[in-house]
């Protein structure tokens, strides 16, 4: 099956947007899930609620909120443009941001679980061996929660590939810029004779999702071997 | 001299220990389970914080509630050998041993490996070691941090009789060939007899007897005889 330009454009864009979304999420999700798993503080429930909002809000609402805050005249968007020349509206960067926000809670939940499941006695042992907290985190904690981190990334990546509502509301539907696979499918279905072409993209979505899931399983097994002999 | 004065309210007991241990040889904290002896070791290592107290090794103050001194666990220079070996599962034996090891230490890597007979295990992961081998590696790992004090919390209790007999000579050699003082927690009279130079007997969080191993053991045996009669 040969890919058409429209298809390869949508696939490339989807992969790129999802990649960046996961890359934005990960460095934030690691400390946030650590806070939620390990610390008790005032406002913890509220923080937890805010993080999980994208999971329960209609994606269109998320898209609207992003537009209001990160749009060119939005309270964050205006500063980001002025200070860094960074714009999001009608750009693939906006699509990545929308995907990141929507998939963030999934990543946090998964990583938090592995923080909670790990044997903290090993951290105590590392302290008694003279390791400072930062070193303990990178040499003991992080390697031991790696399967969970990986699972979180895959889950988030898969969610990003499927992101539609927030993206289309926030950055619209621009070929080559914000028209990811789901949006391209929607676009084709709207056309009188687009069903067959949409079907091809649906098939591609299926393949991508399967590759991600199987790949995750294989990687997870390898990691398990490294961690437990 | 190692000065230990500790007070802490724990679940059911009030821990209150005030002893001066010799800065050499092996001191056993001996008593029934629930007497607070493991807590003493955790307080020394800094894994628990006393309500009040003073810990001093020679002139080095490690904890002093009056002057608000509390050296963090990673800077206490205390090697800790736990009941379960707590080796890092994702690292080889070699990397486990070197985790807290720095060049310029008095205690040399090769010397320790040779003394504990673990040279042939260096490339393996903890998962592939027997219980006795794990505990020998754990002893080596703690020793290689070149600690001011070695703490051993029932290091043999997870092993069967044969393995126990296998490890005891190694602990003796550590006691006799390195000048590091050892605090050793156990409830086994057999281990007291084969290893102790000094004994601190504990019951319900308090010290009931403190002295040279030979004297204390004779008393214990007489008491046991009387009870039997």
Instruction: Write out pLDDT tens, residues A26-83.
Output: 999 999 999 999 999 999 999 999 999 999 999 999 999 999 999 888 888 888 888 8
Q: What are the start-end ranges of the H helices in chain B? A: 37-45, 93-98, 109-116, 131-143, 161-177, 189-195, 213-228
Check if B146 contacts A (Cβ < 8 Å).
no
Lowest mean pLDDT among A187-196, B123-132, B169-178, B213-222: B213-222
Which one, of A58, A30, A79, lies nearest residue A169 by Cα? Answer: A58
Which one, of A199, A46, A45, A38, lies nearest residue A120 by Cα? Answer: A38
Write out chain B residues lying below 8 Å of A131, CB-based: 74, 99-100
**For helices A142-162 and A195-227, what crossing angle results, to 10°?**
180
Of B79, B125, B128, the CB nearest to A128: B79
Which residue do the tokens 């990583």 mark?
A: A111
pTM for the structure as a whole: 0.87
Write out chain A residues lying below 8 Å of B149, CB-based: none
The nearest alpha carbon in chain B to A142 belongs to B90
**φ/ψ of residue A20, rounded to 5:** -65, -35
Examine the pLDDT at A217 and tell me if it is beyond 90.
no
What ipTM does the predicted assembly reach?
0.90
Examine the pLDDT at A18 and tell me if it is beyond 80.
yes
d(CA A228, CA A217): 16
What 8-state DSSP symbol labels residue A176? T
Decide: residue B80, CB within 10 A, 0-12 exposed, 13-18 middle, 19+ buried: buried
Nearest-neighbour CA in chain A from B96: distance (Å):
10
Examine the pLDDT at B104 and tell me if it is beyond 80.
no
| Of residues A219 and A190, more confidently modeled | A190
Classify B112 as helix, strand or coil: helix
Give the mutation candidate from A123, A125, A142 for the B interface (greatest B CB count, under 10 A): A125
The pairing of beta strand B182-186 with beta strand B26-30: parallel
Write out chain B residues lying below 8 Å of A139, CB-based: 99
Give the mutation candidate from B83, B86, B87 for the A interface (greatest A CB count, under 10 A): B86
d(CA B122, CA B126): 10
Q: Which domains does chain A have, with CATH numbers?
A: 5-227 (1.10.3720.10)
Write out chain A residues lying below 8 Å of B80, CB-based: 125, 128
Instruction: Name the percent of chain A lying above pLDDT 90.
Output: 67
Tell if the CB–CB gap between A128 and B72 is shorter than 8 Å.
no
Classify B57 as helix, strand or coil: strand
Res A228: pLDDT: 67
The pairing of beta strand B69-70 with beta strand B60-64: antiparallel
């Amino acid at each position: 099956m040969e890919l058409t330009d429209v298809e390869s454009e949508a696939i490339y864009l989807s992969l790129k947007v999802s990649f960046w979304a996961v890359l934005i999420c990960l460095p934030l999700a690691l400390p946030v899930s650590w806070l939620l798993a390990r610390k008790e503080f005032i406002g913890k429930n509220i923080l937890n609620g805010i993080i999980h909002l994208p999971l329960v809000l209609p994606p269109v609402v998320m898209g609207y909120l992003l537009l209001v805050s990160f749009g060119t005249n939005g309270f964050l968007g205006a500063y980001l443009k002025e200070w860094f020349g960074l714009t999001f509206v009608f750009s693939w960067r906006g699509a990545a941001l929308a995907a990141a926000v929507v998939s963030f809670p999934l990543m946090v939940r998964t990583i938090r679980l592995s923080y909670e499941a790990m044997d903290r006695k090993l951290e105590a042992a590392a302290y008694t061996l003279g390791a400072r907290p930062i070193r303990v985190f990178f040499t003991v904690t992080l390697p031991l929660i790696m399967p969970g981190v990986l699972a979180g990334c895959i889950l988030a990546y898969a969610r990003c590939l499927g992101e539609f509502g927030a993206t289309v509301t926030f950055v619209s539907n621009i070929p080559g810029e914000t028209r990811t696979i789901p949006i391209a499918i929607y676009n084709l279905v709207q056309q009188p004779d687009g069903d067959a072409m949409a079907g091809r993209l649906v098939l591609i979505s299926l393949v991508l999702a399967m590759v991600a899931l199987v790949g995750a399983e294989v990687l997870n097994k390898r990691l398990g071997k490294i961690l437990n002999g | 001299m190692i000065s230990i004065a500790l007070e802490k309210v724990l679940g059911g007991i009030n821990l209150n220990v005030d002893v001066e241990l010799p800065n050499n040889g092996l001191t056993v904290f001996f008593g029934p389970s629930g007497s607070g002896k493991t807590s003493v070791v955790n307080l020394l290592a800094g894994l628990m914080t006393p309500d009040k107290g003073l810990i001093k090794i020679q002139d080095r103050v490690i904890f002093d509630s009056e002057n608000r001194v509390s050296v963090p666990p990673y800077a206490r220079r205390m090697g800790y050998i736990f009941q379960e070996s707590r080796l890092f599962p994702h690292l080889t034996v070699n990397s486990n041993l070197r985790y807290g090891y720095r060049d310029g230490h008095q205690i040399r890597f090769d010397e320790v490996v040779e003394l504990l007979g673990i040279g042939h295990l260096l490339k393996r992961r903890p998962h592939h070691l027997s219980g006795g081998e794990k505990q020998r590696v754990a002893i080596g790992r703690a020793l290689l941090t070149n600690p001011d004090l070695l703490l051993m919390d029932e290091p043999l209790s997870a092993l069967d009789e044969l393995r126990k007999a296998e490890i005891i000579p190694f602990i003796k050699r550590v006691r006799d060939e390195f000048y590091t003082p050892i605090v050793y927690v156990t409830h086994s009279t057999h281990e007291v007899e084969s290893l102790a130079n000094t004994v601190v007997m504990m019951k319900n969080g308090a010290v009931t007897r403190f002295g040279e191993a030979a004297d204390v053991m004779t008393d214990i045996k007489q008491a046991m005889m009387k009870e039997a009669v």
